Amino acid sequence: MRVLYQLREAGFDAYLVGGGVRDLLLGREPKDFDVATNAHPDQVKDVFGRNCHLIGRRFRLAHVRAGRDIVEVATFRAIPRDDGGDHETDNGMILRDNVYGNIEEDALRRDFTVNALYYNIADFSVVDYGSGMADLRAGMLRLLGDPEVRFREDPVRMLRAVRFAAKLGFNIHRAAERLMPGMASLLREVPSARLFEECLKLFHGGQAVETFEKLRHYRLFDWLFPETERCLGEEEDHFPITFVVHGLANTDARILENKPVTPAFLFAVLLWEPVRRLAGFYVEREGLDETASLQRAGSEVLVRSLERVSIPKRYSLDMREIWQLQPRFEARSGKRPQRLLSHPRFRAAYDFMLLRAKAGEAEQELADWWTRFQASGEEEQRSMTQEPDGKGTSRKRRRRPRSTKKSAPVTE
């Protein structure tokens, strides 16, 4: 409110807009607040001085610090036009959008009607230039304008449609819904770094399982994680592969409980199926041991996945460790369990192994043993890691990563 009134006192129009207005009208607590104004970014900078930081090239924005919070302030955008202005497209896709306009033009170029609602502090009204209020009451996600044109302008709008539908419990309007499977391939034109950020929004919003199911339904998941999708299309021992769903359900539960979630664990879950399958191929066909096979398979799958979703190295290194630690859980004698327990990535690898057990990929007895081992004192831990003869040499045979019946590697 301070940002809105300060802009108004400086002689500019200023409105609360988008998700913040939508969520307040739905009785939800907004995650953040966005402001739209007729002030240009440099003018916003002049109003707020050192408390303002201008960001973005594709879409110039002002971040205004208000106490501990950041309020995003955007200048009204105009409908794209070929006039040599600061606007760039490629085959209908908007690459840069800094053509400024008025509030009516700004409303018409937003994605969904329920996101084109403006709260006006001048008279405390909600301004609706589309059918936003009606669609909000009907629980409908409707694109403003021609859905095909809007998806071509920015294919990420298909991902946003899925995310909002899962988050709000809304239906996607049929005019847009019927286009999405056929236009999913447009995602290949989106920078892979942007798709990484979109994946975090999709799966770290507390509705990861429902989002995942909708992405698969509209054939969008295939363009984000093609190797995983091919694995999920098969069965093992006449049972569907459930690991990804268990992993995403675990993520949802942690978010609900306000526990931390990490991108490394999320993407380790999303890419585990192709890694496991390829590792099984290297074990069976080339005679590599489990650790070497997982190391090689993980590297290859990660390299291919970067073409679609660019996972930063700081996360991919942690992902590889989570995968490569899995065979070490089988070694439960001598000092090996204690060494594994002290590994910096133990907790994430342990949680990952619990998911494997829940999905039937690892023995539940193994998961129970490690759960008990962590909670035990030193004396009981020594007892658990030694056989009756005191030598601690006997242990269960290591399990190899499962592969499909043909043991064929996953490739593009």
* DSSP code string of 173-196: PHHHHTTHHHHGGGGGGS-HHHHH
For residue 93, the model assigns a pLDDT of: 55
pLDDT in tens, 364-377: 999 999 999 999 99
Same-domain pairing of 126 and 226: no
Give the mean model confidence (pLDDT) for residues 255-272: 96
Same-domain pairing of 219 and 367: yes
Residues 191, 195: Cα–Cα separation, whole Å: 7
Sequence-distant (6+) residues with CB within 8 A of 333 are 385, 386, 387, 392, 393, 394, 395
Q: Write down which residue in 146, 166, 190 finishes a domain.
A: 190
Backbone φ and ψ of 27, nearest 5°: 80, 20
Among 67-81, 377-391, 396-410, the least confident range: 396-410
C-alpha to C-alpha distances, 192 to 200, 303, 309, 320, nearest whole angstrom: 13, 12, 5, 20
Residues 80, 302: Cα–Cα separation, whole Å: 37
Same-domain pairing of 153 and 201: no
Give the mean model confidence (pLDDT) for residues 254-281: 96
Residues 107, 79: Cα–Cα separation, whole Å: 10
For residue 372, the model assigns a pLDDT of: 96
pLDDT in tens, 192-217: 999 999 999 999 999 999 999 999 99
CB atoms closer than 10 angstroms to residue 64:
23
CATH number at residue 178: 3.30.460.10
User: Which is higher by pLDDT, 56 or 190?
Assistant: 190
Among 60-74, 162-176, 247-261, the least confident range: 60-74
Residue matched to tokens 């802009």:
7
Q: Is 318 part of the annotated catalytic residue set? A: no
Is 402's pLDDT higher than 60? no
Same-domain pairing of 206 and 110: no
DSSP 3-state assignment of 88?
A: strand
Active-site annotation holder among 23, 106, 111, 222: 111
Same-domain pairing of 412 and 352: yes
DSSP 3-state assignment of 71?
A: strand
Same-domain pairing of 362 and 247: yes
Active-site annotation holder among 13, 23, 34, 106: 34
Q: Write down which residue in 156, 190, 224 finishes a domain.
A: 190
Is 398's pLDDT higher than 50? no
Active-site annotation holder among 32, 42, 86, 368: 32
Same-domain pairing of 113 and 204: no
User: Which residues span the domain enclosing 1?
Assistant: 1-190
Same-domain pairing of 122 and 224: no
Residues 339, 335: Cα–Cα separation, whole Å: 6
Q: Is 106 part of the annotated catalytic residue set? A: no
For residue 395, the model assigns a pLDDT of: 44
Could you tell me what percent of the chain has a pLDDT over 90?
A: 79
Same-domain pairing of 132 and 203: no
247, 248, 250, 254: CA torsion to nearest 10: 140
Q: Is 252 part of the annotated catalytic residue set? A: no
Please count the structural domains in the chain: 2
Instruction: Give the DSSP H or E segment for 249.
Output: helix 243-256
Q: What share of the chain is helix, strand, coil (3-state, %, to 5)?
A: 55, 15, 35
Q: What is the chain's mean pLDDT, rounded?
A: 89
For residue 98, the model assigns a pLDDT of: 64
Same-domain pairing of 164 and 186: yes
Among 46-50, 89-93, 149-153, 226-230, the least confident range: 89-93
User: Helix 364-375 to helix 346-358 angle, to the nearest 10 degrees?
Assistant: 150
Residue matched to tokens 């998961």:
367
Same-domain pairing of 94 and 195: no
Q: Report residue 236's pLDDT band, with 50, 70 and 90 as the boundaries.
A: low
CATH number at residue 213: 1.10.3090.10
For residue 129, the model assigns a pLDDT of: 87
Q: Write down which residue in 190, 219, 237 finishes a domain.
A: 190
Same-domain pairing of 162 and 176: yes
